[in-house]
Amino acid sequence: MIERQQTKQRMSRIVKHNGTIYLCGQVCADASKDITEQTQTMLDKVDQLLIEAGSDRQHILSATIYVKDMAEHFAPMNAVWDAWVPEGFAPARACVEASMARDVLLVEISVVAAEK
């Protein structure tokens, strides 16, 4: 069975199937901020959605992170990420440089997690 939550015409924010949770791409709360704050508020949104879906950070299976400028933003983004991921629970991860939907966005994440 497929369960969709917070569904709009273009996407669902959460999709659940056979105990697996898929989150749509998440961006920061305030795009006027620097990469550190954009990353932190983006991860805060992931936390909220995971709780809503019946999961948490320790159950993240994979994450794909899109960074606007790897040379400039990779290290500070990773510093926030490393502090956020619980020790011993690092998911499979890919990180790529990508154009963003809006020019002021510096980072976006897509997450797949298991239900608790």
pLDDT at residue 45, as a whole number? 98
pLDDT band at 61 (very low <50, low <70, confident <90, very high): very high
Which pairs count as long-range contacts for 45-49, CB under 8 Å and 24+ apart, including other chains? 46/109, 46/111, 49/13, 49/14, 49/23
pLDDT at residue 78, as a whole number? 98
- Domains belonging to the chain, first-starting first, are 2-114 (3.30.1330.40)
Mind listing the pLDDT tens digit for each residue in 64-88? 999 999 999 999 999 999 999 999 9
Are 27 and 107 in contact by the 8 Å Cβ rule? The answer is yes
pTM: 0.95
Place of tokens 């510096």: 106
pLDDT band at 41 (very low <50, low <70, confident <90, very high): very high
pLDDT at residue 27, as a whole number? 98
**Average of per-residue pLDDT values in the chain:** 97
pLDDT at residue 95, as a whole number? 98
pLDDT band at 3 (very low <50, low <70, confident <90, very high): very high
Are 44 and 52 in contact by the 8 Å Cβ rule? The answer is no
